């Protein structure tokens, strides 16, 4: 499972960076989104990969780390998802404005 | 009144004001402006109170007050920490924002929607970033700050600003991703996000965790250095700062200093002398990067064709100077750097405001800046009333010239103003009375910094004098710029603050010295944060 997680983070981050370096604004936007997915998965994995363990205390289960998973990265990832989602939406609006003003979708506002 | 609760006030006051302003219609601009001014003045008053409390502490003391949010004990809950450095940064930030705001009210705040709301949110983000004692909360406040700054970059609209905003937002989103990667790596390695707890645990880390921590810290550092404008991550800065509307550029003078603040806060605390095998991790990178930034900034200054670009490159020079001075890791040099931080922020901010007034007189066919011409041309129509430019105050050009000369002296570090004192303090700490060896800094580093500081001052002087001659010593082809009284006030305030700091250099210097001491001996801060007592419920309460 660690291998699959690591590979998917790597694939997302790699394609994100590649797209971010492209010259069309939409590609940059998608690149940033993919990068943020990779980052979110990465934050999640920093709480160590565990299956079948809840992040909140359950009555009757002994309160030791062996029975639970670390709740902090999950809380962090929620916050990060919300923030990056909002920022992506804002960026999209700015991209549309730039497209309207420059009449093309090059990141520098002009072809060549 | 309990001073402890004052710690959260610099965040709550602008936040509440901004929330109240959101539903107000754009037509009620005067009301919004009034609310904005009152809230910012209130923030300055709170900041000054916090500053005076911090100053009353004995030198070397840790935090003035630790505010436990939700009454959770320190390493588990989120904390706000007030100490000398954060109180000083809040004061500086709110003053700069206030001056930009005042300038904008004369003319620019009508160029787009929600200007005052965004300014208040900017203030929330700034104060939060300066106060928080927790890495993830720092990220959240950074995002608040950046979201407001995106809106402010776009204020006034127009193709050049939107284009600059696309680059600015893209680079900041990428930097935020790096920020998150760094934070989560540090959490994975050390298991805490509280800055004080982190610093306390560094020395005892195992080798594999140490490697992860250092990787995380380096990635986090890159994110801050993008914001601080270190070469080679600063190419976004001149383009953005030179096209945004002048009051916003003046407020943004504090934005690069947020990155510097975080480095100043975290680096000596986590990778100070007590960090075991990680002591002074990355100092050579900071030093070399800082020097490269100064060199790049100087080349940009000498090549700059227009005034806003000149001001933007002087921001880069000041960032580079600060980074390389911080990297030395010496108390004396750091206190000089703090002095320089205050002086250069105020000077650059005043310079951005001054530029707009100067450019106004050269508007018809003046240099390359078709950008401003276009923006102002639109602006002229928006301003209501029969007298769009106000009453010309007498001898405007002379006053502008004096202001320009003061900015040049401040930025280049020539006597008698604070720029000189700050540079002198840094050099004095590098070459103390006992010779170069007594400074506990490698002589090669001392001499390199000496050369860099003086050469950068020289480059700034050349470019400022050249521009000054071109602008002020020409026959007046166009009429004298019409300047409103309200537009002169913030410039005079900023420059007279620098003058006041020159007159009161002794007390200011001893404050900076005490700040630098507590930064380089963080045990007091760490102890205060980790042992902050929780508030006990009142015995007569209804708690069962």
Tell me the pLDDT tens digit for each residue of B33-66. Answer: 999 999 999 999 999 999 998 888 887 677 778 8
B456 — pLDDT class (breaks 50, 70, 90): very high
A39 and B162: CB-CB below 8 Å?
no
Of A39, A46, A102, the CB nearest to B187: A46
A47 and B188: CB-CB below 8 Å?
yes
Closest CA to B57 of B526, B518, B523, B537: B518
| Peptide bond connecting B523 to the previous residue in cis, omega within 30 degrees of 0 | no
pLDDT digits 0-9 by tens, B164-178: 999 999 999 999 999
By DSSP bridging, strand B79-82 and strand B65-68 are: antiparallel
Chain B within 8 Å of A28 (Cβ-Cβ)?
Answer: yes
Mean pLDDT within B113-123: 92
pLDDT for residue B124 is more than 90: yes
User: What distance in Å separates the CA atoms of residue B416 and residue B354, rounded to the nearest whole number?
Assistant: 20
For residue B35, tell me if it sits in a domain.
no
Half-sphere exposure of residue B202, counting CA atoms within 13 Å on the CB side?
31
For residue B64, tell me if it sits in a domain.
no
pLDDT digits 0-9 by tens, B376-421: 544 444 444 444 454 444 577 788 888 899 999 999 988 888 889 9
Range of the domain at B505: 287-372+393-522
Chain B within 8 Å of A1 (Cβ-Cβ)?
Answer: no
Chain A within 8 Å of B503 (Cβ-Cβ)?
Answer: no
- What is the number of structural domains in chain B? 1
Chain B residue at shortest CA distance from A79: B140
pLDDT for residue B439 is more than 70: no
Query: What integer pLDDT is reported at residue A58 of this predicted model?
Result: 84
Q: How many CB pairs under 8 A join A and B?
A: 87
Query: What integer pLDDT is reported at residue B249 of this predicted model?
Result: 92
Q: How many residues does chain B have?
A: 544
Task: Give chain B's mean pLDDT.
Answer: 85
Which residues does chain A have within 8 Å of residue B177's beta carbon, measured at their own beta carbons? Answer: 32, 35-36, 39, 84
Mutation target for A interface from B114, B135, B163, B185: give the one with most A CBs within 10 A.
B163
Q: How many residues does chain A have?
A: 112
A108 and B193: CB-CB below 8 Å?
no
A72 and B166: CB-CB below 8 Å?
no
Closest CA to B281 of B307, B293, B263, B295: B263
B92: closest CA of chain A, how far (Å): 28
| Peptide bond connecting B416 to the previous residue in cis, omega within 30 degrees of 0 | yes
Of A39, A90, A98, the CB nearest to B147: A90
Contact B186, B218 (CB under 8 A): no
Q: In chain B, what percentage of residues exceed pLDDT 90?
A: 46
Contact B214, B281 (CB under 8 A): yes
Query: What integer pLDDT is reported at residue A105 of this predicted model?
Result: 84
Half-sphere exposure of residue B90, counting CA atoms within 13 Å on the CB side?
37
User: What distance in Å separates the CA atoms of residue B269 and residue B329, rounded to the nearest whole number?
Assistant: 11
**Residue B293 CB contacts under 8 Å (≥ 6 apart), including other chains:** B229, B230, B231, B234, B316, B317, B319, B320, B323, B324
B475 — pLDDT class (breaks 50, 70, 90): low
For residue B339, tell me if it sits in a domain.
yes
**Tokens of residue B197, six digits:** 């707890």
For residue B499, tell me if it sits in a domain.
yes
pLDDT digits 0-9 by tens, A20-37: 999 899 999 999 999 999
pLDDT digits 0-9 by tens, A50-87: 888 888 888 888 888 788 888 888 889 999 999 999 99
Q: In chain A, what percentage of residues exceed pLDDT 90?
A: 51
- What is the distance in angstroms between the CA of the first residue and the CA of the last residue of chain A? 45
**Residue B533 CB contacts under 8 Å (≥ 6 apart), including other chains:** none
Of B147, B169, B187, the CB nearest to A72: B187
Chain A within 8 Å of B154 (Cβ-Cβ)?
Answer: yes
Give the range among B183-187, B211-215, B433-437, B519-523 with minimum mean pLDDT.
Answer: B433-437
Q: Mapped to the 3 state alphabet, what secondary structure does chain A carry?
A: CHHHHHHHHHHHHHHHHHHHCCCEHHHHHHHHHHHHHHHHHHHHHCCCCCCCCCCCCCCCCCCCHHHCCCHHHHHHHHHHHHHHHHHHHHHHHHHHHHHHHHCCCECCCCCC
Mean pLDDT within B213-224: 92
Which residues does chain B have within 8 Å of residue A72's beta carbon, measured at their own beta carbons? Answer: 187, 193
A36: closest CA of chain B, how far (Å): 6
For residue B509, tell me if it sits in a domain.
yes
Chain B within 8 Å of A109 (Cβ-Cβ)?
Answer: yes
For residue B508, tell me if it sits in a domain.
yes
A87 and B147: CB-CB below 8 Å?
yes
B408: closest CA of chain A, how far (Å): 33
Give the range among B104-113, B328-337, B511-520 with minimum mean pLDDT.
Answer: B104-113
Chain A within 8 Å of B188 (Cβ-Cβ)?
Answer: yes
B184 and A42: CB-CB below 8 Å?
yes
For residue B15, tell me if it sits in a domain.
no
B157: closest CA of chain A, how far (Å): 9
Give the range among B64-73, B299-308, B335-344, B346-355 with minimum mean pLDDT.
Answer: B64-73
Query: What integer pLDDT is reported at residue A112 of this predicted model?
Result: 62
For residue B235, tell me if it sits in a domain.
no
Mutation target for A interface from B118, B153, B170: give the one with most A CBs within 10 A.
B170
Instruction: Report how far apart, in Å, the C-alpha atoms of B380 and of each of A62, B370, B375, B387, B490 are.
Output: 71, 15, 9, 10, 22
A86 and B159: CB-CB below 8 Å?
no
User: What distance in Å separates the CA atoms of residue B516 and residue B329, rounded to the nearest whole number?
Assistant: 10
**Tokens of residue B390, six digits:** 């106000």
Query: What integer pLDDT is reported at residue B70 of this predicted model?
Result: 82
Which residues does chain A have within 8 Å of residue B183's beta carbon, measured at their own beta carbons? Answer: 43, 76
Q: In chain B, what percentage of residues exceed pLDDT 70?
A: 89
Closest CA to B149 of B30, B35, B240: B240
CB burial readout B59-86, b (16+ within 10 A) else e: eebbbbbbbbeeeeebbeebbbbbbbbb
A36 and B193: CB-CB below 8 Å?
no
Q: In chain A, what percentage of residues exceed pLDDT 70?
A: 99
B175: closest CA of chain A, how far (Å): 11
**Tokens of residue B225, six digits:** 């250095």
Chain A residue at shortest CA distance from B193: A72
């Amino acid at each position: 499972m660690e291998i699959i997680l690591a590979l998917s983070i790597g694939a997302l981050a790699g394609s994100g960076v590649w797209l971010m370096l492209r010259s069309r604004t939409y590609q940059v936007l998608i690149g940033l989104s993919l990068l943020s997915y990779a980052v979110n998965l990465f934050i999640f994995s920093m709480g160590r990969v565990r299956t079948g363990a809840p992040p909140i205390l359950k009555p009757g289960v002994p309160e030791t780390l062996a029975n639970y998973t670390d709740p902090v990265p999950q809380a962090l990832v929620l916050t990060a998802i919300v923030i990056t989602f909002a920022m992506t939406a804002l960026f999209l609006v700015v991209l549309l404005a730039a497209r309207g003003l420059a009449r093309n979708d090059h990141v520098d506002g002009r072809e060549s | 009144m309990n001073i402890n609760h004052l710690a959260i006030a610099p965040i709550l006051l602008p936040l509440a004001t901004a929330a109240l302003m959101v539903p107000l219609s754009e037509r009620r601009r005067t009301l919004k402006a009034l609310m904005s001014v009152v809230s910012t003045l209130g923030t300055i008053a709170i900041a000054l109170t916090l500053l005076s409390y911090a100053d009353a502490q004995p030198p070397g003391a840790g935090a003035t007050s630790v505010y436990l949010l939700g009454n959770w004990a320190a390493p588990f809950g989120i904390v706000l920490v007030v100490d000398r450095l954060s109180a000083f940064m809040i004061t500086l930030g709110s003053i700069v924002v206030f001056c930009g705001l005042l300038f904008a009210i004369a003319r620019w705040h009508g160029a787009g929607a929600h200007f005052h709301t965004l300014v208040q949110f900017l203030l929330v983000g700034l104060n939060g970033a300066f106060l928080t004692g927790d890495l993830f909360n720092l990220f959240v406040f950074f995002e608040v700050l950046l979201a407001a700054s995106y809106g402010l970059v776009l204020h006034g609209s127009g193709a050049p600003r939107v284009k600059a905003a696309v680059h600015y937002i893209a680079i900041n989103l990428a930097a935020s991703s790096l920020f998150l990667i760094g934070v989560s790596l540090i959490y994975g390695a050390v298991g805490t996000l509280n800055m004080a707890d982190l610093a306390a645990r560094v020395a005892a880390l195992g080798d594999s965790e140490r490697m992860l921590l250092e990787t995380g810290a380096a990635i986090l550092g890159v994110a801050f250095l993008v914001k601080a404008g270190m070469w080679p991550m600063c190419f976004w800065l001149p383009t953005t700062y030179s096209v945004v509307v002048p009051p916003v550029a003046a407020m943004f003078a504090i934005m690069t200093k947020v990155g510097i603040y975080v480095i100043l806060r975290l680096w000596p605390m986590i990778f100070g002398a007590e960090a075991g095998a990680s002591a002074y991790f990355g100092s050579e990178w900071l030093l070399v990067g800082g020097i490269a930034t100064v060199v790049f900034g100087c080349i940009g200054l000498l090549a700059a064709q227009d005034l806003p670009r000149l001001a933007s490159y002087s921001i880069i020079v000041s960032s580079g100077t600060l980074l390389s001075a911080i990297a030395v890791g010496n108390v004396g040099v750091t206190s000089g750097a703090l002095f320089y931080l205050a002086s250069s922020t105020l000077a650059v901010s005043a310079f951005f405001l001054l530029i707009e007034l100067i450019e106004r007189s050269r508007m018809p066919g003046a240099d390359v800046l078709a950008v401003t011409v276009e923006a102002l041309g639109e602006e002229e129509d928006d301003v209501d009333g029969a007298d769009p430019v106000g009453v010309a105050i007498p001898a405007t050009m002379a006053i502008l010239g004096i202001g320009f000369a003061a900015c040049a002296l401040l930025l280049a570090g020539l006597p008698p103003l604070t720029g000189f004192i700050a540079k002198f303090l840094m050099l004095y700490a590098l070459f103390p009375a006992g010779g170069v060896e007594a400074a506990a800094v490698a002589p090669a580093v001392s001499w390199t910094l000496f050369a860099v500081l003086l050469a950068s001052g020289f480059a700034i002087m050349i470019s400022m004098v050249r521009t000054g001659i071109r602008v002020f010593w020409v026959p007046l082809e166009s009429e004298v710029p019409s300047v409103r009284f309200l537009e002169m006030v913030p410039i005079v305030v900023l420059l007279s603050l620098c003058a006041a700091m020159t007159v009161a250099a002794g007390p200011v210097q001893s404050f900076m010295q005490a700040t630098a001491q507590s930064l380089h001996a963080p045990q007091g801060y760490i102890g205060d944060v980790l042992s902050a007592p929780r508030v006990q419920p009142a015995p007569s309460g209804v708690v069962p």
